[in-house]
């Protein structure tokens, strides 16, 4: 089977979706699938107008020229018109649930417009049971057309060798610095954790300025490092050395940062919201996303006995790697492709 893959979001500064698409392309051959990446490198996918041009004009043309059996729109959007059977991965419905601050045209395109497109796909894939429930509450399609496939975690995260604790206890937050990621609650917790630093890795939005202003008011700006988007080697090094990873998001369709931390053997704290309890499956501490005191106490507990925390995280690591391995993920994807073509 030849499957054309929308790989445009691998360009530029790829985040979770780019990581997902790269994993698909690398591992689909394990399931007997021949992936055909579709990209147009001169086009910046992170500008709204150019993203729409890719989705609605260039992608369907590239798919038709690929002569694939199937098009997999793996980035959460799909063309209004395409000549071949199409599968779409809907990573979440955050544009309807948690992006009220965004510009109206973006909310419409990634929200209502995209929902109508999903209804025309042969098969819809979601990243979690939570996202399946969310999508079916908004989209009038038969439930059996929506399949759950956990994205895989790349092998280099699973092979990370954890290093000895540094002199400065470090809390790690990975992901786009945007409002729904709720970084403020960790900054508030950090104000009561003397000598602890927070490293934030991921692209910025205007929400970063709010977080920086909060840190200034609390007098802890010198203990927070906003690294922005970093090279992969730096990200892997951060997971290797961090004492604890935090995922305080108010809304996640999957939560790649939580899955990566578990596979890397890093003690992890997550918000008790959306898909995160499902993804960590009891292997991480769940906390209220609005209670900074709870985050402070949970971080302090890990830092007070780092050896015990690391031992527990390492013990749980194997189960996480089995749960999020790409081999299992692409096997389930292949089944969904077959259903779409049947």
Instruction: Say if residue 74's pLDDT is above 80.
Output: yes
Tell me how far apart the alpha carbons of residues 210 and 213 are, in angstroms, rounded to a whole number. Answer: 5
Domains 2-152+325-341 and 155-323 share a fold: yes
Q: Is 233 helix (H, G, I), strand (E, B) or coil?
A: helix
Instruction: Say if residue 164's pLDDT is above 90.
Output: no
| Whether 189 contacts 218, CB under 8 Å | no
Which residues, 6 or more positions from 142, have their beta carbon under 8 angstroms from its beta carbon? Answer: none
**Position 15 confidence tier, pLDDT thresholds 50, 70, 90:** confident
Helix, strand, coil share (%) of the chain residues, nearest 5: 50, 15, 35
Instruction: Say if residue 100's pLDDT is above 80.
Output: no
Tell me how far apart the alpha carbons of residues 132 and 274 are, in angstroms, rounded to a whole number. Answer: 11
Mean pLDDT, to the nearest integer, of 257-266? 97
CA 309 to mean position of chain CA atoms: 24
Instruction: Say if residue 72's pLDDT is above 80.
Output: yes
Poorest-pLDDT segment among 11-20, 80-89, 217-226: 11-20
> Could you tell me the two tokens for 168?
């400065």
Q: How much of the chain, in percent, has pLDDT values that exceed 70?
A: 100
User: For residue 171, which of 220, 102, 231 has the smallest C-alpha distance?
Assistant: 220
Instruction: Say if residue 166's pLDDT is above 80.
Output: no
Q: Give the CB-side neighbour count of residue 218, counting CA atoms within 13 A.
A: 22
> Could you tell me the two tokens for 152?
């895989």
Give per-residue burial for 203-240: e unless 16+ CB within 10 Å, then b: bbeebbeebbebbeeeebeebbebeeebeeeebbebbe
Which residue blocks in 112-229 are alpha helix, DSSP H?
114-118, 129-136, 155-158, 184-190, 207-218
The predicted pLDDT at position 186 comes to 98
| Whether 286 contacts 277, CB under 8 Å | yes
The predicted pLDDT at position 97 comes to 85
Task: Write out pLDDT tens, residues 194-220.
Answer: 999 999 999 999 999 999 999 999 999
Average pLDDT, the chain: 95
**Position 165 confidence tier, pLDDT thresholds 50, 70, 90:** confident
Mean pLDDT, to the nearest integer, of 180-202? 97
Task: Write out pLDDT tens, residues 300-336.
Answer: 999 999 999 999 999 999 999 999 999 999 999 999 9
In terms of phi and psi (left: phi > 0; alpha: psi -120 to 50; beta: otherwise), the region of 53 is alpha
Which residues, 6 or more positions from 96, have their beta carbon under 8 angstroms from its beta carbon? Answer: 107, 111, 115, 138
Task: Write out pLDDT tens, residues 284-297.
Answer: 999 999 999 999 99
CA angle 285, 204, 225 (to 5 degrees): 65
Beta bridge partners of 287: 271
Tell me how far apart the alpha carbons of residues 23 and 37 are, in angstroms, rounded to a whole number. Answer: 12
Structural domain boundaries of the chain? Answer: 2-152+325-341, 155-323
User: Containing H/E element for 81?
Assistant: none
Instruction: Say if residue 107's pLDDT is above 80.
Output: yes
CATH code that applies to domain 155-323: 3.40.50.2000
CATH code that applies to domain 2-152+325-341: 3.40.50.2000
The predicted pLDDT at position 265 comes to 97
The predicted pLDDT at position 258 comes to 97
State whether the Cα torsion 139-132-95-330 is positive or negative: negative
User: Cα–Cα distances in Å, from 9 out to 2, 54, 178, 193?
Assistant: 20, 10, 18, 38
Across the chain, where does the E strand assignment appear?
Answer: 2-6, 34-38, 70-73, 86-90, 123-126, 146-148, 170-174, 197-201, 224-228, 244-247, 268-271, 285-287
pTM here is: 0.91
Beta bridge partners of 204: 177
């Amino acid at each position: 089977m030849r499957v054309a893959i929308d790989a445009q979001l691998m360009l530029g500064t790829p985040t979770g979706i780019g990581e997902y698409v790269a994993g698909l392309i690398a591992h689909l051959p394990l399931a007997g699938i021949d992936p055909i990446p579709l990209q147009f490198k001169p086009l910046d996918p992170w500008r709204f107008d150019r993203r729409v041009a890719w989705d609605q004009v260039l992608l369907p043309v590239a798919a038709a020229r690929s002569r694939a059996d199937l098009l997999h729109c793996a980035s959460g959007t799909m063309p209004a018109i395409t000549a071949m059977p199409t599968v779409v991965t809907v990573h979440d419905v955050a544009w309807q649930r948690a992006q009220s601050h965004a510009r109206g045209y973006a909310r419409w395109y990634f929200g209502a417009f995209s929902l109508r497109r999903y209804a025309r796909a042969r098969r819809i894939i979601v990243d979690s049971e939570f996202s399946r429930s969310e999508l079916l509450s908004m989209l009038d399609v038969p439930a059996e057309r929506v399949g759950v496939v956990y994205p895989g975690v790349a092998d280099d995260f699973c092979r990370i060798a954890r290093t000895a604790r540094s002199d400065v206890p470090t809390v790690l937050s990975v992901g786009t610095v945007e409002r729904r990621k709720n970084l403020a609650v960790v900054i508030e917790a950090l104000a009561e954790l003397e000598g602890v630093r927070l490293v934030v890795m991921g692209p910025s939005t205007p929400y970063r300025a709010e977080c920086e202003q909060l840190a200034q008011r609390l007098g802890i700006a010198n203990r927070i490092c906003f690294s922005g988007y970093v090279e992969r080697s730096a990200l892997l090094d951060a997971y290797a050395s961090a004492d604890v990873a935090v995922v305080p998001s108010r809304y996640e369709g999957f939560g790649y940062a939580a899955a990566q931390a578990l596979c890397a053997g890093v003690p992890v704290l997550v918000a008790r919201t959306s898909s995160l309890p499902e993804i960590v499956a009891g292997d991480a501490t769940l906390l209220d996303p609005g209670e900074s005191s709870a985050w402070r106490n949970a971080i302090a507990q890990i830092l007070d006995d780092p050896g015990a925390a690391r031992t527990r995280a390492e013990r749980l690591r194997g189960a996480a790697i089995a749960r999020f391995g790409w081999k299992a993920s692409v096997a389930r994807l292949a089944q969904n492709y077959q259903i779409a073509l049947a």
